[in-house]
Amino acid sequence: MTIDKDKQDPESTNGGLTHFDASGQAHMVDVGEKKETHRVAVATGTILMKAETLEIIKSGNAKKGDVLGIARIAAIMAAKRTSDLIPLCHPLALTRVTVDFEIQEMEPGITCTGQVETFGKTGVEMEALTAVQIALLTIYDMCKAVDRGMVMTAIRLESKLGGKSSDWSATKQQKQSDL
């Protein structure tokens, strides 16, 4: 029996990098045999800005319109189009995408939290991360005329639920590494 190099266990051949076959060639992971489960991912990121820029956003007086409303729509659209942007991502039928913003007064900025859900064979981490990043980029685009020095930072996966690799939480990982 010949083993198809694309079907080999990636954990044993590439140190856990699943998007490469045994010979190191990029490939889309085969999820055909995986069970469908409820999958959820939450990501966050922050855009820092001048206090004056934050005030413009809060007041709703930006020249281009409702900054956070448009950023929310852009984020939802981005989550739905992630497989068009990231070459080896599977196209997914998302069941839910939420995008929330929290104003940060102390260090002026806005934190975005994106949550993406599906019932499928692969996770939605990339969709959540893409949603957050595009939300922050949209805020930048809409406010760059008054503040080109904005900085996007701390973009990360907060948690993921469902799937073979079990649940994961950045908070839980941080607590374990503190031991």
Q: What is the pLDDT of residue 28?
A: 63
Note the pLDDT tens digit of each residue in 22-39.
777 665 666 656 688 999
The count of other CB atoms within 10 Å of the CB of residue 8 is 13
Note the pLDDT tens digit of each residue in 39-93.
999 999 999 999 999 999 999 877 888 999 999 999 999 999 999 999 888 899 9
The phi and psi torsions of 30 (rounded to 5 degrees) equal: -80, 115
The count of other CB atoms within 10 Å of the CB of residue 24 is 9
* 35-161: CATH number: 3.30.70.640
Q: What is the pLDDT of residue 11?
A: 44
N- to C-terminal Cα distance for the chain? 47
For the chain, give the percent of residues with pLDDT over 90: 64
pLDDT at 4 over 80: no
Note the pLDDT tens digit of each residue in 85-141.
998 888 999 999 999 999 999 999 999 999 999 999 888 999 999 999 999 999 999
pLDDT at 178 over 90: no
Rounded Cα distance, 93 and 49, in Å: 35
Does the pTM exceed 0.85?
A: no
Instruction: Provide the CA 171 distance to its chain's centre, in angstroms.
Output: 17
Cβ-contact 159, 169 below 8 angstroms: yes
Residues known to be catalytic = 141
Identity at 173, one-letter amino acid code: Q
